[in-house]
């Protein structure tokens, strides 16, 4: 089937638009969005799509040739190959809400569950109370799945959930029996990509099926719901039982992202992702995990070019929790993606794990670097920093990206020190290859300590340190006659004293579309996460690999949601988000301060990690929740200033906003974010009691610097008749100048439950002055 090969959308370790060869200059895939489906019979809906298209193109044959997808489950619409004039003609039809051209996205990537708390070893906790997430279905949209991985074994897994309507689609090297009671669904979507791109079968080894070549999808799926796999080790760095967050939850893979080649990586088309979401809605998934995303500047939430936001809106309306990676463009502010308020957006943190690698200098100074080196100890060896001594005709460079400018004799038989500001690990691996090819024996890389870590090929010793320690080593080299160094094998350290940090790469808020909507919502481990992969993964070791990214953090939350869904099957997607955000850790699980990796370490704020680090056990019993439904999201869209027509396009039916429009500050979120405070503002929240029937909560306020916060009432009383209570918050500022954001919190407590709202406020005197004058 290699002659059928072609490429598709980009995946979130985040989703990026790629330049690919176009199959046709005259026609391009367009999405024709018709809104809410008008009939429950999918065949009828599809036939209506073909009839509409044939009426515009002139014949059924032309319509059949043009049609790429019929969206018929979560919403109504189709993807078709159209010229500009045909697209315009269809767009002018009163039946059509919107027509947009197809576009492309990119990917956002052991210890996790012991660290976060819900361990399967304890007889009484969230994992055991929910039977490990049994009967919950996690849908994953990604690069596919490697079904033979032990992470998808179905030992001890019961019958397939009765609400499952999907199946396993055969394709290249994939048959229906590759599925089982754990991996219950696998489909692939490539038509959108194939409609206008060439997929070179000789260059791309990907499978035209749900089988995963890249490994990203397999990794993500196994983090969310992988089965127990005993005695797992990655390159000798520790050993133990590996599992996903909900080890008895079921996995359904929707492959919409395709590996093109080594240069172009993975790509995913909007139309294919839309079809994947549409099918997932039909199939009956409970949670949808999407480790994909775009880049700033983002499309608005009502712009159908944001296929994830559009599809997620309809999924959430059907009760499906949609969890998305927040992006890997940190630590710069306003870089977070997947920011729609109906999406649960995830940031990435480190674990309490370190791969300490001793570097011993000739003066007996011991420096602990980070590496995944399990080779033999490298005894005292000459140490060099390639720089011009002032009397040489050779070219020297101590920059990691330019080590190839050095002569072989500069590096042969030595350990080389280099510096880099690059975040991509390929810079490290390339530098290590250059040193090794020159006859060097090892590499020490000085760089930002928060950047990705991975083993170098052939277990070549390459150790990462921060720039401060790199400078210490540099001075040792410069002021020592014959500098030498010893490198010992890496040792895995877990627990204290290893601190938790928000990862450098994790995209940060505030939300660049609607800064009053806090994003990200929550943080979860996403650095050096061990999980299953494809055998084709270059870093694969025994079927497993360590990857980093918000791509890895998102399925952690998906796994937690699967457990919570088993415990609270009637909760809405908003209720799950509320439970997770308001119960999160603001410290690590040991009570130590979390840090945020940036240009330097700092105390994290809500724009780094939302509510904080997910606390699964507390989220199971949050005490109070804040609920929202589709109409609440429409109110948000009205409050955000979108016009009626654009909201109608997204919702799929005629929508008219009230006049005056609602306040965005009144959206019932488990956070309070005020981006432009000048005068006193009043906002409202409504909480619902999900704890003991007779409960009394009192308020505690930690106001942001220079901000006054008054809550009314100060006590909330719940009983058998009073399930939900509203409260108001009056916020004012003492600042007389524009400020940045200051942060605080508002907590409702009954002495057992602490329901914490992160509070973020920015005073904007000058902007308001210009608005008024």
Q: How far is CA 53 from the centre of its chain?
A: 36
Q: Specify whether the CB–CB gap between 446 and 465 falls below 8 A.
A: yes
Q: What is the DSSP secondary-structure string of 614-657?
A: --HHHHHS-SEE----HHHHHHHHHHTT--HHHHHHHHTS----
Is the preceding peptide bond at 331 cis, omega within 30 degrees of 0?
A: yes
Tell me the C-alpha distance between 32 and 235, whole Å: 49
Catalytic residue among 7, 551, 646, 695: 551
Q: Is 303 a catalytic residue?
A: no
Q: Is 219 a catalytic residue?
A: no
Q: Specify whether the CB–CB gap between 463 and 382 falls below 8 A.
A: no
Catalytic residue among 142, 214, 283, 608: 142
CA distance readout (Å), 707 to 675, 734, 771: 13, 6, 22
Q: Is 61 a catalytic residue?
A: no
CA distance readout (Å), 240 to 232, 234, 357, 679: 5, 10, 21, 57
703 burial class (0-12, 13-18, 19+ CB within 10 angstroms)? middle
Half-sphere exposure of 528 (CA within 13 A, CB side): 23
Nearest to 674 by CA among 730, 608, 749: 730
Kindly state the greatest CA–CA separation across the chain.
Answer: 88
Q: Residue 393: which H helix or E strand, with range? A: none
SS3 92: coil
Tell me the C-alpha distance between 245 and 290, whole Å: 16
Tell me the C-alpha distance between 596 and 307, whole Å: 31
Tell me the C-alpha distance between 549 and 556, whole Å: 12
Structure tokens belonging to residue 621: 């019993």
Nearest to 687 by CA among 663, 708, 662, 711: 711
Q: Specify whether the CB–CB gap between 332 and 548 falls below 8 A.
A: no
Tell me the C-alpha distance between 465 and 535, whole Å: 30
Q: Specify whether the CB–CB gap between 33 and 96 falls below 8 A.
A: yes
Nearest to 8 by CA among 230, 187, 226: 187
Q: Specify whether the CB–CB gap between 237 and 128 falls below 8 A.
A: no
Is the preceding peptide bond at 713 cis, omega within 30 degrees of 0?
A: yes
Tokens 């800064």, residue located: 515
Tokens 């619409």, residue located: 77
Nearest to 505 by CA among 43, 103, 109, 39: 109
Catalytic residue among 216, 219, 314, 568: 216
Tell me the C-alpha distance between 458 and 441, whole Å: 12
Tell me the C-alpha distance between 582 and 470, whole Å: 41
Residues of 711-720 as b/e, b for ≥16 C-beta within 10 angstroms?
beeeebebee
Provide the annotated active-site residues: 142, 216, 551
């Amino acid at each position: 089937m290699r002659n059928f090969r072609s490429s598709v959308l980009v995946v979130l370790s985040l989703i990026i638009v790629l330049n690919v060869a176009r199959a046709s200059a005259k026609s391009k895939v367009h999405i024709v969005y018709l809104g809410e489906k008008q009939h429950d019979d999918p065949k009828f809906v599809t036939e209506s799509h073909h009839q509409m298209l044939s009426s515009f193109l002139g014949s059924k044959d032309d319509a059949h040739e043009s049609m790429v997808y019929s969206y018929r489950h979560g919403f109504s619409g189709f993807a078709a190959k159209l010229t500009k004039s045909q697209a315009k003609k269809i767009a002018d039809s009163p039946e059509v809400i919107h027509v947009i051209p197809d576009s492309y996205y990119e990917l956002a990537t052991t210890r996790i569950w012991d660290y976060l708390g819900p361990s399967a070893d304890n007889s009484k906790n969230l994992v055991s109370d929910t039977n490990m997430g049994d009967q919950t279905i996690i849908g994953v949209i990604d690069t596919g799945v490697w079904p033979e991985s032990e992470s998808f074994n179905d030992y001890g897994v019961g019958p397939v959930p009765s609400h499952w309507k999907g199946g396993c689609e055969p394709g290249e090297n994939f048959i229906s029996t590759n599925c089982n009671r754990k991996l219950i669904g696998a489909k692939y979507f490539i038509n959108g990509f194939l409609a206008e791109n060439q997929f070179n079968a000789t260059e791309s080894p990907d499978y035209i099926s749900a089988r995963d070549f890249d490994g990203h999808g397999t990794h993500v799926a196994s983090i969310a719901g992988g089965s127990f796999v005993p005695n797992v080790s990655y390159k000798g760095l520790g050993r133990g039982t590996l599992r996903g967050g909900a080890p008895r939850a079921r996995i359904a893979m929707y492959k919409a992202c395709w590996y093109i080649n080594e240069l172009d990586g993975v790509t995913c088309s909007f139309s294919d992702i839309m079809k994947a979401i549409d099918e997932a809605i039909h199939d009956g998934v409970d949670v949808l995990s999407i480790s994909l995303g775009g880049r700033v500047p983002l499309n608005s939430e009502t712009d159908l070019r944001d296929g994830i936001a559009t599809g997620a809106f309809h999924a959430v309306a059907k009760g499906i929790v949609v969890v998305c990676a927040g992006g890997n463009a940190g630590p710069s502010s306003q870089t977070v993606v997947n920011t729609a308020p109906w999406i649960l957006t995830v940031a990435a943190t480190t674990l309490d794990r370190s791969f300490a690698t001793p570097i011993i200098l000739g003066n007996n100074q011991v420096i602990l670097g980070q590496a995944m080196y399990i080779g033999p100890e490298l005894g005292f060896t000459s140490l060099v920093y390639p720089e011009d001594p002032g009397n040489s005709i050779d070219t020297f460079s101590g920059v990691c990206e330019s080590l190839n400018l050095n002569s072989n004799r500069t590096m042969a038989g030595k350990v080389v020190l280099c510096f880099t500001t690059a975040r991509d690990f390929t810079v490290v691996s390339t530098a290590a290859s250059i040193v090794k090819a020159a006859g060097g024996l090892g590499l020490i890389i000085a760089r930002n300590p928060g950047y990705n870590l991975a083993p170098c090929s052939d277990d070549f010793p390459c150790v990462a340190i921060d720039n401060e320690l790199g400078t210490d080593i540099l001075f040792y080299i410069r002021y020592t006659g014959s500098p030498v160094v010893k490198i010992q094998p890496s040792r895995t350290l877990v627990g204290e004293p290893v601190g938790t940090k928000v990862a450098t790469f994790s995209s940060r808020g505030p939300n660049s579309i609607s800064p009053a909507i806090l994003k990200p919502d929550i943080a979860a481990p996403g650095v050096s996460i061990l999980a299953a992969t494809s055998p084709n993964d270059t870093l694969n070791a025994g079927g497993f690999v360590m990857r980093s990214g918000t791509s890895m953090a998102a399925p952690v939350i998906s796994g937690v949601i699967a457990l919570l869904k088993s415990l609270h099957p009637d909760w809405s997607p908003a209720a799950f988000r509320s439970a997770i955000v308001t119960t999160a850790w603001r410290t690590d699980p040991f009570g130590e301060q979390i840090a945020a990796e940036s240009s330097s370490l700092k105390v994290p704020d809500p724009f780094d990690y939302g509510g904080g680090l997910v606390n699964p056990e507390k989220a199971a019993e949050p005490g109070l929740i804040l609920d929202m439904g589709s109409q609440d999201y429409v109110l948000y869209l009205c409050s955000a200033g979108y016009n009626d027509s654009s909201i109608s396009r997204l919702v799929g039916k005629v929508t008219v906003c009230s006049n005056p429009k609602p306040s965005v500050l009144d959206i019932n979120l488990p956070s309070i974010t005020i981006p432009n405070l000048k005068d006193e503002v009043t906002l409202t929240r409504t909480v619902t009691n999900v704890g003991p029937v007779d409960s009394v909560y009192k308020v505690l306020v930690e106001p942001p610097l220079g901000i006054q916060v008054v809550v009314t009432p100060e006590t909330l009383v719940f009983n058998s008749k009073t399930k939900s209570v509203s409260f108001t918050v009056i916020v004012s500022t003492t600042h007389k100048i524009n400020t940045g954001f200051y942060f605080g919190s508002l907590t409702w407590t009954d002495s057992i439950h602490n329901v914490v709202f992160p509070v973020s406020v920015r005073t904007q005197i000058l902007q308001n002055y210009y608005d008024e004058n």
